[in-house]
Amino acid sequence: MNATVNKVMAAKVDNGVNVEALLGARQALTDAPEAARFKWRATCSWVNGTHSRSTVQGFFGLGAEQSHKTAFTYDADHPEVFASEDNGSTPVEYVLVALASCLTAGVAAVAQNRSIQLRSVKATVEAGMDLQGILGIDSEVRNGFDGIKVVYDIDADASREDIAALVAQSQKRSAVFDIVTNPTDVTVTASKV
């Protein structure tokens, strides 16, 4: 396919991702790598029992303080089977939301860049966890997931092979996929107020 045909086809594809802006950002950040250093933040306030409310609004990037258009708040809790009040998803389910949404945004962005028109994308995520870990019953059992399975069902103008390649590229560029599959240092400190 020559460049002109490619361009005409690309113009017809609209997944709602502004690839030109992303490619422009990539060039800008290549020229000014300091601007690529982001700080993401959340605050979490205990409500009662295992119920907490987290807020996400400000972050740092492009060399300046930034803000979401609005503050997003999230209730987390444990379910009734753990003698809690089920006021929100469990913390581990938030990890699954993070992973699925990161991969899905990637699928849309990569599809746009490859001129693949998406019609629907759905991810189903399931993670196993043996509660003998967090309950301290068996020290050989880890606290976290014993593995995560993500299954995509994608309706798009593309072959099965192209869809598989799309999902593979999304994994390769996913921040949350990296966070879940590789270790990250976490430092926790506490002050008495």
Q: What is the DSSP string of 56-89?
A: EEEEEETTEEEEEEEEEEEEE---GGGTS---SB
Residue pair 156/116 in contact by the 8 Å Cβ criterion: yes
Provide CB contacts within 8 A for 29, sequence distance 6+. 35, 36
Residue 21 binds its own copies, judged by CB under 8 A: yes
Q: List the one residue from 4, 12, 16, 140 that touches its own copies (CB under 8 A).
A: 16
26 binds its own copies (CB under 8 A): yes
The reply on whether position 186 binds its own copies by CB under 8 A is yes
Residue 10 in contact with its own copies, rule: CB under 8 A: no
Least Å from the CB of residue 78 to its own copies = 7
User: How many chain residues interact with its own copies (CB under 8 A)?
Assistant: 133
Task: Enumerate residues 135-164 that contact its own copies by CB under 8 A.
Answer: 135-138, 142-156, 158-160, 163-164
To its own copies, the closest distance from the beta carbon of 92 in angstroms equals 5
Contact between 65 and its own copies by CB under 8 A: the answer reads no
**DSSP character at residue 139:** T
Continuous segment of H or E residues that includes residue 185: none
Report if residue 129 touches its own copies, rule: CB under 8 A.
Answer: yes
The Cα 42–Cα 45 span in angstroms is 10
Q: Which of 2, 191 has the CB closer to its own copies?
A: 191
Residue 115 makes contact with its own copies by CB under 8 A:
no
Site for its own copies in 30-59 (CB under 8 A): 30, 33, 36-46, 48-52, 54, 56, 59
Using CA atoms, how far apart are residues 99 and 180, in angstroms rounded to an integer? 8
Q: Are 72 and 97 in contact (CB under 8 A)?
A: no
Does 12 interact with its own copies (rule: CB under 8 A)? no
Does 103 contact its own copies by CB under 8 A?
yes
Q: Are 71 and 85 in contact (CB under 8 A)?
A: no
The SS3 assignment for 10 reads helix
Q: Which is nearer to its own copies, 5 or 186 (CB)?
A: 186
